[in-house]
């Protein structure tokens, strides 16, 4: 079987089950299997694929047809222009989370001094590691309650050359250092919400929260005042429908709205 034939057949299968980007997914699966890039595929459509590689590509295609996230099949996901290893122990980084980095870079554009940043519920480490690589002067701590997730985050930090610290920690319980920036992509999905088939393969503990998805965010807001310095920022990801409730709750804990962007809520700690 040549590259063109495999791609045409794979695209048809993925389109039939409702995958939104069937050709792209097919190309990424085959390119990864052949250890080539997509440009190579486009330039070598008539090239015959080794039968062993066909078997591997077909096995991966079957996983995608079962709606296993493409990132888990490939073993990585791009985030802010970098490749991050992901496993079923971590959430797949979403494009909307990149807005948190954009907001952080805006807030730190004129701040070159060393400041402390914590990435709570770090998962693959994509937020905290990207923050460190984009703003090297930041002192970055990655935390999570999952040992398996912290292992993945540590590997990503090493692979990308980011000097960060890692710690097993639940929200800010047991924390001792004052903070200038808090990044938190906590579980915020209500179990009653309709989700994509791919979500069933991601760790439920990193997705779902009680109280209409706001239980963990509410707990963090209560803790923030104790650790976040005046004029420091808490950046949260949540569904836009939750933003009003988050902002109203934050006001009880000396936090005021800084900005809203997509899924990201930026909250500033007002002076005591």
Predicted confidence band at 272 (pLDDT cuts at 50, 70, 90)? Answer: low
- List, for residues 69-116, the tens digit of each pLDDT value: 999 999 999 999 999 999 999 999 999 999 999 999 999 988 768 899
- List, for residues 201-224, the tens digit of each pLDDT value: 999 999 999 999 999 999 999 999
**Can you tell me the distance from the alpha carbon of 144 to that of 123, in angstroms, rounded to the nearest whole number?**
7
Per-residue HEC secondary structure of 106-148 comes to HHCCCCCCCCEEEEECCCCCHHHHHHHHHCCCCEEEEEECCHH
**For the residues 245-257, what does the mean pLDDT come to?**
96
**For the residues 166-187, what does the mean pLDDT come to?**
96
**DSSP, residue by residue, 14-59:** HHHTT-SSHHHHHHHHHHHHHT--HHHHHH-TTPBPPHHHHHHHHH
**For the residues 242-256, what does the mean pLDDT come to?**
96
0.85 surpassed by pTM: yes
Report which of 241, 243, 246, 239 is spatially closest to residue 221, judged by C-alpha positions: 246
Average pLDDT of the chain?
96
Residue 111: the pLDDT is 73
**For the residues 250-266, what does the mean pLDDT come to?**
95
């Amino acid at each position: 079987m040549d590259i063109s034939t495999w791609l045409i057949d794979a695209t048809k299968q993925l389109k039939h089950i409702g995958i939104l980007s069937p050709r792209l997914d097919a190309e990424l699966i085959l390119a990864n299997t052949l250890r080539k890039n997509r440009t190579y595929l486009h330039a070598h459509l008539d090239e015959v694929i080794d039968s062993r590689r066909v078997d591997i590509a077909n096995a991966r295609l079957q996983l995608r047809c079962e709606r296993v996230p493409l990132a888990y099949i490939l073993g990585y996901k791009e985030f802010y222009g970098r490749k991050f290893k992901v496993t079923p122990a971590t959430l797949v980084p979403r494009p909307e989370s990149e807005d948190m980095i954009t907001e952080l870079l805006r807030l730190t554009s004129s701040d070159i001094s060393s400041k402390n940043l914590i990435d709570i519920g770090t998962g693959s480490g994509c937020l905290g590691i990207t923050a460190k690589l984009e703003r090297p002067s930041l002192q970055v701590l990655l935390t999570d309650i999952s040992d398996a997730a912290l292992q993945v985050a540590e590997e990503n930090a090493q692979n990308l050359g980011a000097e960060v610290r890692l710690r097993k920690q639940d929200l800010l319980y047991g924390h001792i250092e004052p903070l200038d920036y808090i990044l938190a992509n906590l579980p915020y999905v209500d179990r009653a919400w309709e989700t994509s088939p791919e979500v069933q393969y991601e760790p439920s503990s990193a997705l779902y929260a009680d109280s209409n998805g706001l239980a963990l965010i509410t707990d963090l807001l209560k803790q923030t005042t104790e650790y976040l310095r005046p004029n420091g920022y808490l950046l949260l990801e949540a569904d836009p429908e939750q933003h009003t409730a988050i902002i109203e709750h934050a006001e009880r804990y000396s936090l005021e709205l800084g900005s809203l962007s997509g899924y990201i809520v930026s909250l500033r700690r007002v002076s005591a």
